Chain A
C-alpha cells in the first residue's frame, strides 16, 4: 500500500525491533504484569485541561497516569479539538439539525509494537462512529440547523495493545446481550480506555466550544477480572464456577495478566440525566437474565462498575469545564469594567 502523498520507508518494509533476554543484561525488568496495587474501585487521576488548541473553537487535552507501580509517566494522551457549528458547504443537502462528525485518529507513534500508518484503519473508523454515537444525544443538534460540528480526536499515546495494527476482533453488545464470538480470555481493555477517554475529552471540548448541550457525557471503563490465584485455564472459564470474578474499575492492561481480563465494558454516561449513550462490551460474560438480584449478575456488576467510573470521571469533567467558564466570566467582568 504505497502512500504517494507521504514519505514512506524502504520499499521492502521494516520490522519492529524484536527483544530477547540478552546475556549482557543482568537486570531484567521486573515481570511487567503485576497485580493492581490500588483498590478495585480506585480510579487513576485524570488530567483534563481545556483550550489548549487556541485556533480551534473548543479543545481539550486528557491524560491518564501509568499505574503507579511502574513509573510516574503517563500513558493515555488524547487531544481533542472542536470546530463549529460552522456552515455546511452549499452542495450539502438541507438538514434541519447540526451534523456531528467525529474523527478519531491514532498518531503513528501512539501504539506499541508496530508503527501505525496515516491512513485511517477499521479500528479508528469504528471508534469514530462510536464516539459520535456517544456524543450525539448530549448535543442540542436541533439548535444549529444546516451546520456542521466537527470533533477531531488525536490519540498521542495509549496503553496495552490498543493501537496494535493487527486485526481487532470485537463485537458489540447492545445494552444487555453477551456471549458470542470471543474465544478465550484476554480482552484488550486499552481500546476501551481510549474510547472512554475520548468521550470525556470530546465532551469537554464541545462544552469549551460553547455548543449547547443537554448534559456532559463522561466515559468509564470496568472489567471483569479473574482473581489472581483463582486458577483456571483461559478456555474454560465458563465451567469454572468457583472462579471468582472481580469487577475492576478503570483497568489498565499493565496490571493484569493477558488472560485474566474476562470481559470489559466502556460506557458513555450522562450523569445528570442518568442516561447511557454508549455501551461497548468485549469479552464473554455469563449472565442470567431471570435473576433480579443485581449483585449476583456479572453483567450488571460490570455495567454498574463502568457507570460508577464514568460518574467519577464526570467530576473531573465538571471541574475542567467550570475552570474555563470561570475564566470566561472573569474576562467578561474585566471587559465590563474597562468599558
Chain B
C-alpha cells in the first residue's frame, strides 16, 4: 500500500483505518476529543457514531425469509446488514435396535434417558446435529476445506446451546411410536395406551454462511431458530409389516417450538493508552468485521424471553488504569447489555412470529 505523504500528513480514511484501527475507531466514537481528527466531517458532535454510521448501541436491522429451500424440511435465510446466513433443517430417521425400544405409557413421559424434562434422549442419542459452514467464500479469511478451530468452536457453542441450554425442540416431537395415530403428541394424549418408541427423527441443522461481516453467532442462531420454527416433518408411523418407518407423503406437522431464544453480541471498546480518552469504554452492539478486529472484550447474552437469561458470556476484559474498579464496571456493562439484548430479543421475536401469522 502506498500512501501519498503530503506536507500536511493527511491520508484517506480507508488508509487510516488500516494503519491504526484503534485510533480510527476512537476518532469516530469521540470526535471531539482531538482537533486533529480527520474523519469527523460527517459525524458531527452529537451521539458517537461508528464507522458504519450506526450509533454505539444500534443493531443492524434483520430480515428473515423462511421456506425458500425445496429439499429441506425447514429453512430460513437471515440477513443482518452484510451478514447473511442460510439454515436448512432436514429430518432423517434413526431406527432403534431391538433392545433400545422403550415403551411409553400414557401420562408418564419416559424419555430414553432419565432427563427430568424428558430431554434425556436428546443427549443420549445425538438427535440434533447442528453444523456451521463458514468455508463458502463468505469472507476473505475463510477458505474451502476443513473447518477452522474457530468454526468448530462456534459449532460446539451452538450445539450446546441447542441441546443443553435452550432446548427449543422437545423430544416428544421427534419420537416415532408404534401407534400410528399417537405420533407421540405427549401431554395431550389421554388414552390409556402403551406406545413403543420405535424410531426417532434426527434433525440435521446445517447452517451455511453466505456473507460474513461480523457477528456470525447472532445471525446463525436466529437462522437456526427460524428454520426450526419453519420445520414441518412428514407424519411418520411405524409399519409393522415392512418393519420400518413410513412417512405420509402429504401430511406434515411442525415441531411445536415454544421457546424462542435469541442471542445478542456486544463488544467493548477501550480507548488505547496514550490517548486523551484513555481507558474510556464504549459498548458497541452487533459488531461488524472491522470492529471485531479492534474490540478485545466481548459479551454474549442469550435470552429466552425479554428478561430471562439463558447464557451470559464475557471474555477478554482489559485491565484499566483504575485497577480495582474495573470488575464492577464489567458487571455494569453486563447489565446494560442484558437490557439491550431484551430489546433485541423483541425485534427477533416479532419478526419470527410475524412471519408465522402471515402464513396462517
Contact = CB atoms under 8 A, between A and B. Distances in A.
Interface in B81-139: 82, 84, 86, 88-95, 97, 125-127, 129-131, 133, 136-139
B250 A118 contact: no
Interface string B199-241: 0001010101011110000000000000000000011110100
B144 interface: yes
A291 interface: no
Contact of B88 (A5, A22, A59, A109): A109
A183 B69 CA distance: 33
Given A25-B249, A25-B251, A7 B126 contact: yes
Interface residues of A, number: 55
Contacts of B94: 9-10, 12, 14
Interface residues of B, number: 60
Interface of B: 68-72, 75, 82, 84, 86, 88-95, 97, 125-127, 129-131, 133, 136-140, 143-144, 146-147, 152, 155-156, 159, 202, 204, 206, 208, 210-213, 234-237, 239, 244-251, 289
B150 to A, nearest CB: 12
24 contacts: A5-B147, A6-B131, A6-B155, A9-B202, A10-B126, A10-B202, A17-B91, A20-B247, A24-B248, A54-B211, A55-B211, A56-B137, A56-B211, A81-B138, A81-B211, A107-B208, A108-B88, A108-B206, A109-B71, A111-B71, A115-B90, A115-B204, A159-B70, A163-B71
Give the 4 A-B residue pairs with the shortest CB-CB distance, closest first. Answer: A109-B88, A152-B137, A81-B137, A14-B92
Contact of B248 (A10, A14, A19, A77): A19
B51 to A, nearest CB: 14
Interface in A130-174: 150, 152, 154, 156-157, 159, 163
DSSP majority for the A interface? loop
B213 A105 contact: no
Given A53-B211, A55-B212, A17 B234 contact: yes
Contacts of A156: 69, 86, 208
A252 interface: no
A28 interface: yes
Contacts of B247: 17-20
A312 interface: no
Nearest to A101: B144
Contact of A154 (B129, B159, B210): B210
A23 to B, nearest CB: 9
Interface in A65-82: 66, 73-75, 77, 79-82
